[in-house]
Amino acid sequence: MPSFLPPAARKRVLAALGERYGGRGSGLDYRNPFELLVAVILSAQSTDKMVNVVTRPLFDALPGPAEIGALTPEALVPWIAKIGLTNTKAKHIVATCRLLLEHHGGEVPCDYEALVALPGVGRKTANVVLSNAFAVPAIPVDTHVYRVSNRLGLADHGTVDGTEQQLMKNLPRELWSEAHHWLIWHGREICKAPSPKCDACFLTEACHYYNRRGKWASAEAVAGEHPVGKAKAKGRA
C-alpha cells in the first residue's frame, strides 16, 4: 500500500510550503505562451538560468513562430548552442513553429491533446504551458517535484506519471499549479539531490524521508533504496 502523509499533515505541509514559497512562479523568463513553450522545450536537461540566457537574444531577434519557423534547424542551432541536446531541440522547435502556423493560426493552443501533438512536447511540457500560460490547474512533475513529493509523503510512487496521478488525488485542485512551484523551489533550495539540507528544513516533523532514514542517513544509502532522484521521464519531456 502507498505510504502517504495523513490529510492533516498534508495540510500543514502545504501551508508551510505556501508560506515559504508563496508568490514564486516559474524560473523561466517569458512574455507570452509562445515564449514559454519554447523555453520549456529548451529546459530539458538544462537549468532555467541557462535557458534565460539563451532565450533573451533569441526572442528579441526571432519573436514568434513565423520567424523561427522560417529557419532550418541548422540555422537555429547557433542561437541555442549553449543548451544541451541542441540539434534535437532545434529540430523540435522549428517543426513546432511550423505546425503552430499551419494548424493553430500561429497561436499556442490551450488544449492538452493539441500541445502533446507538437514535436518535443510531452505531458510535463504541456502541463507547464497550460498551468503557467493559461491558468489551467495542473501539476507538471519534473525531477524536483518527483523527488520532493515522494520524500515528503505527498506521493509514494516510482514513476513520474504515477506521482502526478497521486498528487492530483492528494492535493486540492485549487492548489495544483501553486504547489507545483512550491515543490520545485523547495527542491532547488533545500531538498536537493543527492544531499538534502535536512538540518535547514522546516518540514522535518512531517517528512517521511527524514523520519524513515533519520537525520544522519547517508545520501548514498537513500539513493540505493529509494527511487527519488532516479526517475527520468522516458521520451518527450
36, amino acid identity: L
In terms of domains, do 49 and 126 share one?
yes
For the question of residue 199 being annotated catalytic, the response is no
pLDDT, tens only, 31-72: 999 999 999 999 988 999 999 999 999 999 999 999 999 999
Residue 129 lies inside a defined structural domain of this protein = yes
In terms of domains, do 116 and 171 share one?
no
Do 127 and 138 contact (CB within 8 A), yes or no? yes
The residue out of 134, 164, 187 marking a domain boundary is: 134
Structural domain that includes position 210: 7-23+140-225
Could you tell me the pLDDT band of residue 212, with boundaries at 50, 70 and 90?
Answer: confident
Residue 232 lies inside a defined structural domain of this protein = no
Instruction: Give the lowest-confidence range in 30-44, 53-67, 174-188, 202-216.
Output: 202-216
Please state the domain count of the chain. 2
For the question of residue 111 being annotated catalytic, the response is no
Grid cell locating 71: 529557419
Q: Which of 29, 82, 89, 124 is catalytic?
A: 124
Residue 1: exposure state from Cβ atoms within 10 A (0-12, 13-18, ≥19): exposed
Residue 164 lies inside a defined structural domain of this protein = yes
In terms of domains, do 12 and 47 share one?
no
Residue 1 lies inside a defined structural domain of this protein = no
pLDDT at position 198 over 60: yes
In terms of domains, do 171 and 221 share one?
yes
Q: What is the 3-state secondary structure (H, E, C) of 60-90?
A: HHCCCHHHHHCCCHHHHHHHHCCCCCHHHHH
